[in-house]
Amino acid sequence: MSVSDELEARAVELDAADPLAAHRAAFVSDDEVVAYLDGNSLGRPLHATRDRLARFVDAPWGDRLIRAWDEGWMDAPTELGDTIGRVCLGAAAGQTVVADSTTVLLYKLVRAAVDAQARDDPRRTEIVVDTDNFPTDRFVVEGIAAERGLELRWITPGSDAGVTADQVRAVASDRTALVLLSHIAYRSGQLADLPAITRVAHEAGALVLWDLCHSVGSVEIDLDVQHVDLAVGCTYKYLNGGPGAPAFAYLAERHHGRLRQPIQGWMGAADPFAMGPSYEPATGIRQLISGTPPIIGMLPMRDMLALIDEVGMAAVRRKSVALTEFAVEVADRLLEPYGVVVASPRDRAVRGGHVTLDHPDFRAVTAELWQRGVIPDFRPPHGLRVGLSPLSTSFAEVAAGLAVVADELRRAQASS
Q: Which residue out of 211, 358, 361, 377 is catalytically annotated?
A: 211
- The verdict on whether 237 is a catalytic residue reads yes
Q: Which residue out of 237, 286, 319, 379 is catalytically annotated?
A: 237
Measured CA to CA, the distance from residue 161 to residue 187 in angstroms comes to: 9
- The verdict on whether 82 is a catalytic residue reads no
Neighbours of 17 (CB within 10 A): 10
- The verdict on whether 236 is a catalytic residue reads yes
- The verdict on whether 86 is a catalytic residue reads no
CA 113 to chain centroid, in Å, comes to 21
Radius of gyration for the alpha carbons in the chain, expressed in angstroms and rounded: 22
- The verdict on whether 258 is a catalytic residue reads no
Measured CA to CA, the distance from residue 358 to residue 187 in angstroms comes to: 11
Q: Which residue out of 186, 236, 250, 326 is catalytically annotated?
A: 236
Catalytic center residues: 134, 211, 236-237, 385
